[in-house]
Chain A
Amino acid sequence: MRQPIVNICLFFFVLQVICIVASLLYPNDFRYVSQTNIGLLLRAIPVLGIISLGVGVLMITGEYDLSVGSVYTLAGYSIALLFGMGLPVWLAVFATLAIAAAIGVTNGLITVKFAIPSFIATMGAMLVVRGVVRWLSEGRTVSFKPDETFSDLLTGSFYGIEAPFIWFIALALLTGLLVHKSKLGNHFYLVGGHEKTAIAVGINSHRVKVIAFALASLAAAIAGILSITRVGTATPAQGIGLELKAIAVCVIGGLFLSGGRGTVLGIVVGACLMYMVEDVLLLLRAPGFYLDVFVGAILVVAVILNTWLTRKAGK
């Protein structure tokens, strides 16, 4: 059977070609290849993309994390408040990542030790972390103005390529190495696809899942740090719905909801496709007020097409 990733990459490639040709033919009406638009895409994709990398790894092990949107928001507040208290910015980053990892480990332990569906365990965490954000923020926005070196490193550009995108690709490569080239990566797939077999061959499935939960939380925190560095401020109400968007990105990228299948390349393409759809619709002047209707419909069509092509190729 043909892998879903092949279809989604083909779909993405064909769309890119169409958009680039259309943009070259009508440069004033469809500014897809304009430098500004490309810069925008390269800044926008990484936030959801990085969260999706973590969520994707967890999905491969057959689990979900609904708390990533809340962790994303908490990370923004954590780094801003710690930095505001006088901590050096890199120490604030380290502390924020440590907090996120602790949340991920807690999610994992609750899920595996108490045999609670991760959907429920992380829904609880989503609400608890959101509550902590409200308590920390007292409902107020927070500003984060680090030094220029830090800002440039996270949100500047290198040789014309936006730094957030470079971070995204670097993290995707690291995740790819971990998932596709390491022993732990093999364990992720085996635990997600055939947990009983994994246990039978001596894999500590609980440990593997806890690591995956920690990675999902860490990814959300990195996205939160990137986001607040780019925008300079955060609100306690932000990040709601990011968890479902990340799952959607993974499904578009060919990951199975049941676990055990999927690739990091699929997650990267899925994230790019998600923002590309939004971007193309806005560039084509689709009614902005009803944008989500179009985005939702196109994404469902993409998944149907992907599934259909995969099944067809398998016959």
Chain B
Amino acid sequence: MKKTSRREALASMIAGSAALVAASTMPAGSALAQEEKVNVTFIIYTAAGDPFWNPVIQGAQEAAKDRGVSVDIQYADSDPVKQNNLIETAIANKVQGIALVNWLPDAFTANIAKARAAGIAVITFDTDDPKPNATESQAYVGQDFFAAGQRIARKMVEAGDLKKGDHVVAPVEDPDAFYGTERYRGIKAALDEAGITSERLDASPTMATAMTRISQYLVGRPDTKAVIGLGSVVTEVGPQAAAEANVTPVIGGFDLSPGIIDSILSGKMVATVDSGAYYEGYMPIVMLYYFVKYGVPPSSIPIGGTVIDKSNAELVKKWAGTYR
């Protein structure tokens, strides 16, 4: 083996360090990266850790990488005061764009207006006030919860051959959650049309507890013909809850997870509604970038709402929990 002299070693160390410094300061070769990065605060309304947000975050981070955006992801812990503080901090930091979940009507209207008045671009994603133009947000990227609720309810009526006088339960992880309220409103509207009664059930985000509550409900109301979970946890435990209650209602719900897809493929669940989570993260970052750089106005994009059943679940399986 060739012996390296001390000088050579020093020279290679310096050369290596210089390369490292260059690599860390030089952009990755693209013209975009040579420009100053666009700063965006991306506010998720729950606490960190909810698996639903993984594809959303992946989308936001990939868009940030693609476009040269510096994205700061923050969590509001389901606290409107904290979320308002996060928006105000973003305004004070003079970021160029804010993407946020408008999960509580009227709670963030004033600060969204304040951000716009300060020249900051604002886009809402995942959840928005259902009243048109309720805030000064420039666009909304997300599911139309009401329409999605109607869609899954109709699918369940068809799959379960539900008739006038039948009963349906809709468990939800958090009774205050806006997604649950709006999705249930859509479900109820579709079921009411068919003369089918329905009720929401406060389950819990803890899987074992949610499963027990749904089972207990089904034992108390064995005439329940369908279970429609309003979120991913209650949808995922639905089949097992029915099995433990020794009843066989048709089961469906919202969102995607590996467990939900497996249940659909094995025939234990009829269908779920895709929320288009990846685009919920990707599109706001892209639109904020183009607005800040070139003044291209953001535009609302209704995403998600695709019914996933046995016919298309295999396609989704590979990417459930990451891109789907």
Q: Do A and B come from one complex?
A: yes
Q: CA A237 – CA B77 in complex, angstroms?
A: 12
Whether, in the assembled complex, A284 has its beta carbon less than 8 Å from a beta carbon of chain B, the answer is: yes
Q: Are A236 and B212 in contact (CB under 8 A)?
A: no
- A-B contacts, CB under 8 A, total: 126
Partner of B205, one of A143, A232, A235: A235
- Residues of chain B lying within 8 A (CB to CB) of residue A130: 49
Q: CA A192 – CA B233 in complex, angstroms?
A: 40
Q: Are B199 and A233 in contact (CB under 8 A)?
A: no
Q: CA A139 – CA B46 in complex, angstroms?
A: 12
Q: CA A235 – CA B203 in complex, angstroms?
A: 15
A288 to chain B, nearest CB (A): 4
Whether, in the assembled complex, B215 has its beta carbon less than 8 Å from a beta carbon of chain A, the answer is: yes
Q: Are A134 and B49 in contact (CB under 8 A)?
A: yes
Q: CA A281 – CA B233 in complex, angstroms?
A: 22
Q: Which of A229-265 contact B (CB under 8 A)?
A: 230-242
Whether, in the assembled complex, B51 has its beta carbon less than 8 Å from a beta carbon of chain A, the answer is: yes
Q: Given the known A-B contacts A231-B237, A283-B219, are A291 and B213 also in contact in the complex, defined by CB atoms under 8 Å?
A: yes
Whether, in the assembled complex, B201 has its beta carbon less than 8 Å from a beta carbon of chain A, the answer is: yes
Q: CA A37 – CA B247 in complex, angstroms?
A: 12
Closest residue on chain A to residue B57 by CB atoms: A139
Closest residue on chain B to residue A29 by CB atoms: B220
Binds A, one of B90-98, B238-246, B279-287, B308-316: B238-246
Q: What sequence of 0s and 1s flags, for each residue 217-234 of chain B, a beta carbon within 8 Å of any chain A beta carbon?
A: 101111000000000010
Partner of B50, one of A34, A236, A290, A292: A236
Number of interface residues of B (CB under 8 A): 43
A151 to chain B, nearest CB (A): 13
Q: Are A282 and B217 in contact (CB under 8 A)?
A: yes
Number of interface residues of A (CB under 8 A): 45
A44 to chain B, nearest CB (A): 4
Q: Are A231 and B213 in contact (CB under 8 A)?
A: no
Q: CA A51 – CA B245 in complex, angstroms?
A: 25
Q: Given the known A-B contacts A238-B207, A291-B201, are A233 and B213 also in contact in the complex, defined by CB atoms under 8 Å?
A: no
> Which residue of B51, B171, B199 has the most chain A CB atoms within 10 A of its CB atom?
B51
Q: CA A154 – CA B187 in complex, angstroms?
A: 38
Whether, in the assembled complex, B47 has its beta carbon less than 8 Å from a beta carbon of chain A, the answer is: yes
- Residues of chain B lying within 8 A (CB to CB) of residue A140: 51, 54, 321
Q: CA A230 – CA B50 in complex, angstroms?
A: 21
Whether, in the assembled complex, B175 has its beta carbon less than 8 Å from a beta carbon of chain A, the answer is: yes
- Residues of chain B lying within 8 A (CB to CB) of residue A291: 201-202, 213
A248 to chain B, nearest CB (A): 14
- Residues of chain A lying within 8 A (CB to CB) of residue B53: 139
Q: Are B211 and A236 in contact (CB under 8 A)?
A: no
B46 to chain A, nearest CB (A): 8
Whether, in the assembled complex, A47 has its beta carbon less than 8 Å from a beta carbon of chain B, the answer is: yes
Closest residue on chain B to residue A46 by CB atoms: B208
Partner of A237, one of B47, B169, B211: B47
DSSP majority for the A interface? helix
Whether, in the assembled complex, A39 has its beta carbon less than 8 Å from a beta carbon of chain B, the answer is: yes
- Residues of chain A lying within 8 A (CB to CB) of residue B233: 235, 237-238
- Residues of chain B lying within 8 A (CB to CB) of residue A288: 169, 171, 199-202, 213, 217
Whether, in the assembled complex, B236 has its beta carbon less than 8 Å from a beta carbon of chain A, the answer is: yes
Q: Are A139 and B54 in contact (CB under 8 A)?
A: yes
Q: CA A148 – CA B130 in complex, angstroms?
A: 49
- Residues of chain B lying within 8 A (CB to CB) of residue A141: 51, 236, 257-259, 321
Q: Are A37 and B216 in contact (CB under 8 A)?
A: yes
Q: Which of B39-57 contact A (CB under 8 A)?
A: 46-51, 53-54, 57
- Residues of chain A lying within 8 A (CB to CB) of residue B266: none
Whether, in the assembled complex, A107 has its beta carbon less than 8 Å from a beta carbon of chain B, the answer is: no
Partner of B207, one of A227, A275, A287, A290: A227
Q: CA A287 – CA B46 in complex, angstroms?
A: 26
- Residues of chain A lying within 8 A (CB to CB) of residue B236: 141, 233
Q: Are A227 and B50 in contact (CB under 8 A)?
A: no
Q: Given the known A-B contacts A40-B216, A139-B51, A282-B216, are A289 and B207 also in contact in the complex, defined by CB atoms under 8 Å?
A: no
Can you show 10 pairs from A to B with CB atoms below 8 A apart? Answer: A31-B220, A39-B244, A139-B54, A139-B57, A143-B258, A230-B208, A231-B237, A234-B207, A279-B216, A289-B201
Q: Give 7 closest A-B pairs by Cβ, nearest first.
A: A288-B201, A236-B49, A283-B220, A44-B212, A238-B206, A282-B216, A289-B200
Interface residues, chain A, with chain B CB atoms under 8 Å away: 31, 34, 36-37, 39-40, 43-44, 47, 130, 133-134, 137-141, 143, 227, 230-242, 275, 278-279, 282-285, 287-292
